[in-house]
């Protein structure tokens, strides 16, 4: 029975044994064919196939490290299985993984962290499927954006600056695959896409820095001003340096580029590396942004209108007003918004990012200072504020900051590392997964996120494996 008012459906099952099957497809003819096939298949056969598929998937998992004192071994095993199932259940047949229940597309950054988690858990087929998914999109569109549809060729999710950040993650993901598997053939197939990703970053490099993408969790979550998107981004610039170096090394070793291209690209990357500290390091702090780059923002860009209350889930073309704000066609004629004075901002997500994507031009001592600074906040207050502009009581935490900090504590050999690993494990909710953001230590915004879940689990398992190896 269907309710015409809210389009919900009510299914009444009478006494006895019943079978309830769901079939779906992008169009009516295909959906009818799937439904008819399901009706011809005995339910016991459907159940047998389903169980066999999950058993095969689980069998490929990597053994878990032993749980030391302070870590609940049963909870660890439950979380590892839950995260693997979560990822697999959200992965389409074409390899794309849904960004979350409100986000029905495959996001490049999110799939990078998830691929790291899949490789660590031993699920290589699923990690490879993500790269095959990108190749499928690339073969038809010759471009990749912040997010792509899953299961059909449709519109992209285009954000403020899709040439930055996600392109570095895309290159990183391919070479993570190579490091884990030694599979040169897949990298060679990916090369045209990687050349495009590298050239996209080069095209938006200004003063040896890259801008923000605009869909980072800390921007989308309101922890970093959207008005600062045209600033230099420490994260995006670091990704350019790290991923560019890996790509150059491979291209030179495999003779995939001309000598002139290798020389030119290396010189540009090393210029950015040489100036990185001057742009983003001040008094031992790795700041998220470099404000002076904002003067080079384009007149028009695609993204989120900065008028308060205007953004209702839709992206639009924007025009820069006289004060540097980007407004949609409806808001722009009303006159400029007040100027947002540029300033440097600290974000734990960015300060700890080198632990996940590579140190680039930073020294270990410079990175150690970031880890200790963030760790001290947690040790002093029991809180892990992502936005720490002088307020240790800030309740907002980006969901993957927990994993990033644990990676740092692990590399430092910090005495609180295992205790913090137990804390991160305890944050997993009843589904065995982690959320996009936390407020006062409680999951908020999107739950069951594969990016945050994969990163936090990866950090826990990496620490436990290192601890077991050293014992």
Measure the N-to-C terminal CA separation of the chain; round to a whole number of Å.
Answer: 62
> Given a cut of 70, is residue 5 above it in pLDDT?
no
Six token digits for residue 138: 């690339």
**What is the pLDDT at residue 221?**
83
**What is the pLDDT at residue 88?**
96
What would the mean pLDDT of 406-411 be, rounded to a whole number? 97
**What is the pLDDT at residue 389?**
52
Which comes out higher in pLDDT, residue 365 or 316? Answer: 365
Contact 234, 289 (CB under 8 A): yes
> Given a cut of 60, is residue 313 above it in pLDDT?
no
On the CB side of 142, CA atoms within 13 Å amount to 1
> Given a cut of 80, is residue 4 above it in pLDDT?
no
Contact 210, 240 (CB under 8 A): yes
**What is the pLDDT at residue 394?**
54
Average pLDDT, the chain: 92
Q: For residue range 254-266, list pLDDT tens digits in order.
A: 999 999 999 999 9
What would the mean pLDDT of 314-335 be, rounded to a whole number? 90
The helices-and-strands tally (H runs, E runs) of the chain is 16, 13
The Cα 18–Cα 311 span in angstroms is 46
Six token digits for residue 468: 């077991």
Q: For residue range 424-454, list pLDDT tens digits in order.
A: 999 999 999 999 999 888 888 889 999 999 9
> Given a cut of 50, is residue 33 above it in pLDDT?
yes
**What is the pLDDT at residue 390?**
41
**What is the pLDDT at residue 298?**
87
Q: For residue range 109-129, list pLDDT tens digits in order.
A: 999 999 999 999 999 999 999
> Given a cut of 90, is residue 333 above it in pLDDT?
yes
What would the mean pLDDT of 15-31 be, rounded to a whole number? 83
User: How far, CA to CA in Å, does 334 sit from each of 312, 321, 327, 447?
Assistant: 19, 10, 10, 38
> Given a cut of 90, is residue 303 above it in pLDDT?
no
Residue 22's pLDDT band (cuts 50, 70, 90) = confident
**What is the pLDDT at residue 143?**
95
Chain-centroid distance of CA 103 in Å reads 13
Q: Minimal CA–CA distance to 446: which of 456, 454, 434?
A: 434
What domains sit in the chain, N to C, each tagged with a CATH number? 76-463 (1.50.10.10)
User: How far, CA to CA in Å, does 460 sit from each of 77, 173, 415?
Assistant: 12, 20, 15
Q: For residue range 226-254, list pLDDT tens digits in order.
A: 889 999 999 999 999 999 999 999 999 99
What is the three-class DSSP state of 396? strand
Residue 55's pLDDT band (cuts 50, 70, 90) = very high
What would the mean pLDDT of 138-160 be, rounded to a whole number? 92
**What is the pLDDT at residue 392?**
40
> Given a cut of 90, is residue 385 above it in pLDDT?
no
The Cα 241–Cα 323 span in angstroms is 31
């Amino acid at each position: 029975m269907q309710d015409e008012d809210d389009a919900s459906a009510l299914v009444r099952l009478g006494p006895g044994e019943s079978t309830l099957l769901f079939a779906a497809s992008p169009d009516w003819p295909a959906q009818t064919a799937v439904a008819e096939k399901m009706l011809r298949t005995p339910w016991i056969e459907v159940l047998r196939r389903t169980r066999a598929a999950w058993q095969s998937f689980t069998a490929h998992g990597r053994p878990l490290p032993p749980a030391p004192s302070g870590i609940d071994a049963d909870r660890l095993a439950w979380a590892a299985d839950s995260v693997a199932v979560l990822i697999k259940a959200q992965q389409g047949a074409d390899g794309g993984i849904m960004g979350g229940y409100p986000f029905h597309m495959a996001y490049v950054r999110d799939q990078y962290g998830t691929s790291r988690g899949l490789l660590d858990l031993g699920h290589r087929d699923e990690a490879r499927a993500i790269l095959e998914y990108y190749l499928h999109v690339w073969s038809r569109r010759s471009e990749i954006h912040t997010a792509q549809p899953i299961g059909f060729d449709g519109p992209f999710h285009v954000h403020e600056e899709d040439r930055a950040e996600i392109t570095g993650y895309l290159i990183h993901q391919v070479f993570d695959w190579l490091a884990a598997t030694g599979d040169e053939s897949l990298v060679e197939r990916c090369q045209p896409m990687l050349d495009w990703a590298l050239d996209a970053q080069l095209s938006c490099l200004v003063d040896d820095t890259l801008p923000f993408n605009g869909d980072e969790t800390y921007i989308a979550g309101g922890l970093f001003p959207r008005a600062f998107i045209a600033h230099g981004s420490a994260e995006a610039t670091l990704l350019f340096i790290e991923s560019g170096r890996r790509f150059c090394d491979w291209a030179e070793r495999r003779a995939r580029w001309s000598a002139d291209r290798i020389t030119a690209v290396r010189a540009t990357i090393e210029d950015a590396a040489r100036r990185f500290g001057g742009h983003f390091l001040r008094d031992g702090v790795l700041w998220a942004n470099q404000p002076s780059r904002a003067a080079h923002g384009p007149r028009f860009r695609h993204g989120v209108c900065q008028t308060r209350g205007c953004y209702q889930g839709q992206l639009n073309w924007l025009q820069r007003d006289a004060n540097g704000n980007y407004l949609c066609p409806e808001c722009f004629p009303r006159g400029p918004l007040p100027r947002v004075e540029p300033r440097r901002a600290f974000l734990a997500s960015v300060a700890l990012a080198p632990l996940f994507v590579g140190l680039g031009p930073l020294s270990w001592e410079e990175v150690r200072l970031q880890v200790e600074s963030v760790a001290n906040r947690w040790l002093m207050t029991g809180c892990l504020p992502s936005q720490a502009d002088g307020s240790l009581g800030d309740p907002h935490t980006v969901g993957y900051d927990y994993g990033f900090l644990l990676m740092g504590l692990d590399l430092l050999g910090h005495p609180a590392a295992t205790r913090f690993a137990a804390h991160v494990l305890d944050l997993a909710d009843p589904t065995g997964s982690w959320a996009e953001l936390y407020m006062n230590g409680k999951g908020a915004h999107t739950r069951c996120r594969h990016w945050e879940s994969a990163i936090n689990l990866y950090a826990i398992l990496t620490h436990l494996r290192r601890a077991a190896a050293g014992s």
